Structure 1
Amino acid sequence: MTKILTFLLLIFSTAYGQKGLEFVPLTSFSPEAEITDLSLIDSVFNESRLVGFGECTHGTSEFTQMRHRFFKHLVKTKGFNTVFIEADYSACLRLNRYINGETDNVDKAIFELMYFAWTTEEMKEFVEWMRVFNQNSDEKIQIVGCDMQSISDDIKEIERILINKKIDSIPTFFQSLTPPYDDTIIVKQALNDWDAFFNSFKDLEPNTSNLINATINQFLQHKLNNSNQYNYRDSCMALNILNYLKLNPDSKGIWLAHNVHISKTKYNYPTSYSYKTSGQYLFESLNNKYVSIAQTTNTGYFNAWKYIKNEPVFSVCELKKAKRNSIEKKLSQYDENILFSDYSTIDNITKMRYTEIGHTYGKTNSNYKIKRYKKLKEGKFDYLIYFDSTNETEILSR
């Protein structure tokens, strides 16, 4: 893909008097806003089949809304039709049935995703838009989970399938599996029994059984082999997305995950351990058909877990204005509320840091302090969306 953000983008970058950096000011994050500004960057997606759309925290309202806004535009202009999310495959199947017309309680379907990044009013708005779109279009949108961190959602989905097929109960070999799944004899037996059962199960649900089988095997193999969690998980998420794209050759999608996962990054440590992100695996397979877009913010609020007196507490956390030597501080100098920048044109990127916060912020229960900033690398992302300020997500009430 020729990395040019159109002639108009170059006019913007020149007009703002900054050498090198190419960017477009974005007028809004609202999904209902006009799309004139997004039209200026259409060329970014001309060859894309998958767009990794990240976030520097999991609990920021504007990040979800901006993804919603971009996806609506890509559906209408580039034929996109799939939303991959950093949630387990089986956990998303109920929600996917809902957006494709099944009568259900949307809140309960969203809560099956089990993670605060998704159980929000912003996500609910996104889901309801997809449902309405599918009701009025012959071209249907799908929501697909690509993660494999739990097996409880697989068990729940298998139970639904068996009940629907009027089969009495789930095979008993799952009943012995209990957290933390550290009894290798039980895990190995469950894996063997599942493999035997799958020969009959795959005929009951041909559209989803292969990916259910993949994530069950990934989960059990991880527990059995005690593989490195992060490297293994990232490789599995990439593989599950690639398998879905192979099974559905007309799919073009965005992938919603943390900036860490959508980035194109390799880490080589002094020991024999090395790590590649999901985005790197995807890039190696899809090449220029994969585009990674990070989202970050200068200041504001977000949701995350904090440990208070060694107890986890779900909290609204604050980000102070970005410090020097950070990418957020550099981009704040352009005096734009939101901007879309070409990552490769940011000078001295390897000398900068950027905001990277997971599900926990502050001190952990072991008194380790989780810091805001991580170092950047060349080629980590293709593009970056910067917000001057942001707010926390609105969590769905049970």
Structure 2
Amino acid sequence: MPATDGTPATGPTSTTVNDIRDAAHPLHATGDLDPLLAHIGDARHVLIGEASHGTSEFYRWRAELTRRLIAEDGFSFVAVEGDWPDCHRVHLAVTRTGQQPVGPIEALRAYRRWPTWMWANEEVAEFVRWLRRYNDEYAGGAPAGFHGMDVYSLWDSLFAIQDYAREYAPDALEAAQRAYECFEPYREDPHTYAWAGATLPDGCRADVVALLANLRAQDGRDTTPAGALTEQFVAEQNAAVVAEAERYYRTVVRGGGESWNVRDHHMVDTYDRLLRAYGPQAKGVIWAHNTHLGDARFTDMAASGMVNVGQLMRQRHGPDGVVLVGMGTHRGTVTAADRWEAPARTLDVPPARDGSVEAEVHGALGDHGDSLFVFSDPAEQPRDSWLRRVYGHRAIGVVYDPAREHRGNYVPSVLGRRYDAFLYLDRTSALHPLRPADQRTGEKEAYPTGV
């Protein structure tokens, strides 16, 4: 572990049990989120995590908190651990903008990249339906948006740039075509490109950089609105995705934490670009896995030189302006695959491992202990507090093997430093995909970590 000021957990004690019980706010209805809303206060950046990409209750509670942030506190947009082009279709649907607006559910069904169930599911569908209704009824200002921050959509983003250049920026078309021709021999397989990049260190980098510079030089040519954004902003974001995807895939083959860091820096850079586009008073919500949103400095990730979105957000925007919310479960079921590119299945999640955060909270609260924990300032937490101890904290990816659960899937963490609040949901159930997951080669969400 890094210098987290954490002490190893030594098992449950009566003091720990009492501390957990005293800190727990029962969590059953939307009004039970009030202590968390009060804690958020004037913070402009709220990051809401999940312990898996396939748990219904995580998605539903995250959506409920986000609805309240948008409707009651005027938050401007949601940025998710998803591809920019796919999520932009949803954005156009919930804001009723674009040349060929579609319904939000149709936009979700258009997600093609495995694992489609991460976003094409009934829980997200319920939220985007609400977001479209909210935007339809909202009287003033820009509509609340829905955007992707991830790095995987190399080819989809290239195609979108070509379409933009043909319609709005013919001077950039040649640069877009050169970039596409550089990647074309790899047949939309980024991993083939990654392995080629190991022997051709420059790869397509020069063409990608030239494309991004060319698009930025088009400033002022397009004022066509796309929600709160212009078409030029969307094109530049696609170019930024291509640039960072190219870098990401060349670092993946080297192993280690470098590719993870490229990806999480890109997500925060994307969020910051959105924040500027929405204006000086904008406020944003981020949805992603706990491993991205809980501050990496208070996990074993730091010892490997890895950073994450939560850490970078605190460093860029200050701890008082950022609220990190994690989630966890003791047992239940989850939607996941048993291998890469396999169809989604409903898998059992066994009771949490002894010595984990989830086992400790379950032991204190019992079988019906769904609870919200809002943490005090770390400086005010007693040195012997359970919030300052190192516990394993469950993390399930899109590929999951319950039989190996007790040999992995736990991130050593100091809970009271990693997050500002924690939603504990004792027994959870599998997410509901809108349709069976496609088996498709090419770029994959959450590759290679599954989160």
Q: What band does the TM-score fall into relative to the shorter chain?
A: 0.7 to 0.9
Verify: 1:354 aligned to 2:389, yes or no.
no
Match of 1:11? none
Aligned length, in residue pairs? 373
Unaligned stretches of 5+ residues in structure 2: 1-16, 223-230, 437-451
Change in Cα spacing, 1:348 to 1:223, as seen in structure 2 (3 Å) is closer
Match of 2:374? 342
Give the Cα separation in 2 of the matches to 1:266 and 1:348: 15
Task: Pick from 216, 220, 234 the counterpart of residue 246 of structure 2.
Answer: 220
Match of 2:126? 125
- TM-score under structure 2 normalisation? 0.74
- The 3-state SS of whatever aligns with 1:87 is coil
Q: Cα offset for 1:41?
A: 3.3
Verify: 1:259 aligned to 2:298, yes or no.
no
Corresponding letter in the other structure for 1:305: A
Q: Cα offset for 1:259?
A: 0.3
Q: Cα offset for 1:219?
A: 1.5
Q: Cα offset for 1:155?
A: 2.3
Match of 1:82? 77
Match of 1:174? 180
Q: Say which structure is richer in strand.
A: 1
In the TM superposition, 1:93-112 aligns within 5 A as 93-102=88-97, 103-110=101-108, 111-112=110-111
Give the Cα separation in 2 of the matches to 1:99 and 1:276: 32
Corresponding letter in the other structure for 1:361: Y
In the TM superposition, 1:232-311 aligns within 5 A as 232-248=262-278, 249-266=280-297, 274-287=305-318, 288-307=320-339
Between 1:176-185 and 1:269-278, the stretch displaced more is: 269-278
Match of 2:441? none
Q: Is the 8 A contact 2:60 2:123 kept in 1?
A: yes
Change in Cα spacing, 1:225 to 1:42, as seen in structure 2 (3 Å) is closer
Q: Is the 8 A contact 2:33 2:372 kept in 1?
A: no
Change in Cα spacing, 1:38 to 1:361, as seen in structure 2 (3 Å) is same
Unaligned stretches of 5+ residues in structure 1: 1-16, 29-34
Q: Cα offset for 1:349?
A: 4.6
- The 3-state SS of whatever aligns with 2:32 is helix
- The 3-state SS of whatever aligns with 2:42 is coil
Change in Cα spacing, 1:361 to 1:189, as seen in structure 2 (3 Å) is same
Verify: 1:188 aligned to 2:205, yes or no.
yes
Task: Pick from 147, 150, 165 the counterpart of residue 147 of structure 1.
Answer: 150
Give the Cα separation in 1 of the matches to 2:325 and 2:135: 26
1:316-362 per-residue CA deviation (whole Å, 9 max, x = no partner) reads 22112223211112222224442111346661653421211112112
Q: Cα offset for 1:278?
A: 1.1
Q: Is the 8 A contact 1:361 1:371 kept in 2?
A: no
Query: Identity of aligned pairs, percent?
Result: 20
1:286-339 per-residue CA deviation (whole Å, 9 max, x = no partner) reads 1111111011111111111213xx984532221122232111122222244421
Q: Cα offset for 1:188?
A: 3.0
Q: Say which structure is richer in helix.
A: 2
Between 1:181-190 and 1:45-54, the stretch displaced more is: 181-190
Change in Cα spacing, 1:68 to 1:280, as seen in structure 2 (3 Å) is same
Q: Cα offset for 1:254?
A: 1.3
- TM-score under structure 1 normalisation? 0.83
Match of 1:317? 347
Corresponding letter in the other structure for 2:215: F
